[in-house]
A = this chain, B = another copy of it.
Amino acid sequence: MLTAAVIGLGYWGPNLARNLATSPRTELRWLCDLDDGRLNGVGSRYPSSSLSTDYDEVLGDLDLDIVAIATPVSTHYELARRALLANKNVLVEKPLTAGSEQAEALIDLARERGLVLLVDHVFLYSPSVQKMGGIYRSGEIGEIRFIDSVRINLGLLQNDVNVLWDLAPHDLSIIDSLLAREPESVVAVGGSHVANGTVDVSYLHLDYGNVKAAVHVNWLSPVKIRHFMVGGSKKSILYNDLDRSESIKVYDSGVSVDPKHADRRGLLVSYRSGDVLSPRLESFEPLSQMVSHLADCIENGASPISGGEQGLRVVRILEAADRSLEKDGARISVGQ
């Protein structure tokens, strides 16, 4: 059984703790937070775990296998670096780091030491996203033409990151899991309406060459929408994360060029209306699936679904997006 520590017990840390505690493959050995009250509050649920406000004490545990980091973004790099230097496998909350150089350094360090570096791109472990990926990889929808993702609701404005860094890692990691490569360039526009200077509504456009993707994130929307649409050459997929009973729908409808169909008005295309299929989904908690995958990576050398490289690609996009925002929507190459 792998042993794990959770660092940071704010909003997300307790979820990591719960899943690490209940997984048959991991044991929750440590809980760590600078805030005593929070530490004891969460700690009371795990009487067999040790509590500490001292990160070094945790890293000093020679039997510890996994350090799961759920602290503010600005601290990810330093905490992850120290954990890797202490020969721990690391799980980091998204986004991986606050900058791409830091992400690269972590990737190098993990590689050198033969350690697993996993980013908590949690949606990749959900039944819906896994089903969507499977359908795409089966060839059923053909080539991807475009991707459109909308993730908006009244959200928790934050001091340290804008809405893109807060929400878009979800969309970007899902897009990355489908396309498995970096976009060539991005355009980002946005607005800051509430807290001076912090962008709270933003649109990010990604140019992947033959595929264009768009991500709309918004902390000020009175309605909650989570639509992820994949337009394919044969079929299309809509992933509606808020539809509990039919979150994935595959549309057998489309538009295709049909030169014979032109008329005076100049239509070049034919329309195909078709069936809609909402496939049965497995039922499991994404975090539980991720913990199990983390154990596979450590114990069996499985290839990480959301490894450091993906984390880096997401961070590089966010960096380029910030530069585009600063330049009023200018197109920015990714990863120059």
Residues in A lying within 8 Å of B, measured CB to CB? 10, 35, 45, 47, 72, 145-146, 148, 150, 154, 156-160, 187, 189-191, 193-195, 198, 200-201, 203, 205, 212, 214, 216, 218-225, 227, 229, 231, 235-236, 238, 245-246, 249, 251-257, 262, 264-269, 271, 273-280, 283, 328-331
Contact = CB atoms under 8 A, between A and B. Distances in A.
Given A187-B189, A187-B329, A222 B246 contact: no
A172 B218 CA distance: 21
Given A45-B45, A187-B329, A220 B214 contact: no
Contact of A331 (B257, B268, B283, B328): B328
Closest 5 CB pairs between A and B? Answer: A159-B266, A222-B251, A276-B278, A222-B236, A191-B212
A205 B202 CA distance: 11
B146 A193 contact: yes
This chain: how many copies in the complex? 4
A213 to B, nearest CB: 10
10 contacts: A145-B193, A157-B268, A187-B329, A195-B268, A195-B269, A201-B212, A205-B329, A219-B255, A223-B229, A275-B278
Given A146-B193, A189-B205, A222 B254 contact: yes
B193 A203 contact: no
Contacts of A331: 328-330
Contacts of A214: 189, 203, 216
The listed residue with most B CB atoms (<10 A of its CB), out of A189, A205, A265, is: A189
A54 to B, nearest CB: 18
A327 to B, nearest CB: 9
